[in-house]
Amino acid sequence: MKMRWGAYPYILWIAIFIVVPLGLILLYSLTTSDIGIRNLELTITNFKKFLDPRYLDVLWRSIELALKSTVICLALGYPMAMIIARENIRKRNVMILLFVIPMWMNFLLRTYAWLTLLGKNGFINYIITKLGFGPLNLIYNDGAVLLGMVYNFLPFMVLPIYSVLIKIEKSLIEAAEDLGASRLEVFTRIIFPLSIPGIVTGITMVFMPAVSTFVISRLLGGGQYMLIGNLIEQQFLGTGDWHFGSAMSIIMMVFILIAMAITSKFEGDKEGGGGLW
């Protein structure tokens, strides 16, 4: 009984700060004007409006960049997680700390720092011009936005994979090696299958914020690079069309829930894959 009563504050918190706001967003998405509750007229006009090719292009561009950043983070993060997991405890803790320290800094400040590096008069172009070459266009393009995503979200890929790799029993690897398995076979048939839960978690943690980000594209895209997050922000803070902005938010939530369902199913199917050996 005590535990049941103790759960009420958490249920109340969830209701006030999660259920009610989501309900309001859904209500706004299904209406077109701020009229009284008694005179509400539900409609899907806002969702139909999103079918405009201009908005669909923004959505596909957001998904494309999010997928690219997720793949790059996986390609960079998995080897790094393996390197960290194989070190002794002292070196391992230092390397993890180096990944975590930048996350202590404000997300906005971390992104702003790239402006001083990638700008026309930034540090990188300064070095290039000193070497006798002309300045490069390093900012306000796909590459700059993608770089900002990878830089900010890479730790979210490394840490889940690392947490799984350090839990793999060394006796499994030693047994495989004693039975004549090569390093490649040990990796493909033991290490990689057992690390899939961490990979799926990392993919989820990178893709979700990447597909909805607006700060990175606004700063490194120069305000002229529109992603779905920027479009939603514009509807709420710029044009003041909360109804259309709410509809786009619901659409984004559906995409995110679908992605989570797919990754969760994949994780469930592959869990315990180390038994393939």
In this predicted model, what pLDDT tens digit does every residue of 156-198 receive, in sequence order? Answer: 999 999 999 999 888 888 888 888 888 899 899 989 999 999 9
Burial of residue 181, with CB atoms counted within 10 A of its CB: 0-12 exposed, 13-18 middle, 19 or more buried: middle
Do 112 and 206 belong together in one domain? yes
pLDDT digits (tens, 9 = 90+) for 45-73: 999 999 999 999 999 999 999 999 999 99
Do 25 and 78 belong together in one domain? no
Which of 207, 186, 204, 195 lies closest to 78 in space, CA to CA?
Answer: 195
> What's the rounded Cα separation, in Å, for the pair 215 and 112?
10
Do 140 and 61 belong together in one domain? yes
User: What is the amino acid identity at position 63?
Assistant: I
Both tokens of 266, joined, read: 């994949």
Residue that terminates a domain, selected from 13, 28, 43: 43
Do 35 and 95 belong together in one domain? no
For residue 276, the model assigns a pLDDT of 35
Whole-Å CA distances, 276 to 25, 176, 186, 190: 46, 12, 11, 8
pLDDT-derived band at 4 (thresholds 50, 70, 90) equals confident
Using DSSP, state whether 222 is helix, strand or coil. Answer: coil
Do 133 and 237 belong together in one domain? yes
pLDDT-derived band at 274 (thresholds 50, 70, 90) equals very low
Do 67 and 37 belong together in one domain? no
Do 33 and 79 belong together in one domain? no
Do 126 and 203 belong together in one domain? yes
CATH number of the domain enclosing 72: 1.10.3720.10
8 A C-beta contact, residue 139 and residue 118: yes
Both tokens of 87, joined, read: 């070190």
Do 7 and 121 belong together in one domain? no
Do 87 and 130 belong together in one domain? yes
What does pTM read for this prediction? 0.86
pLDDT-derived band at 136 (thresholds 50, 70, 90) equals confident
Q: How far is CA 242 from the centre of its chain?
A: 25
For residue 256, the model assigns a pLDDT of 84
What residues make up the domain containing 21? 1-43
Give the count of domains, the chain: 2
Express as a percent the part of the chain with pLDDT over 70: 92
Do 54 and 39 belong together in one domain? no
Do 104 and 8 belong together in one domain? no
Using DSSP, state whether 212 is helix, strand or coil. Answer: helix
DSSP state of 37: G
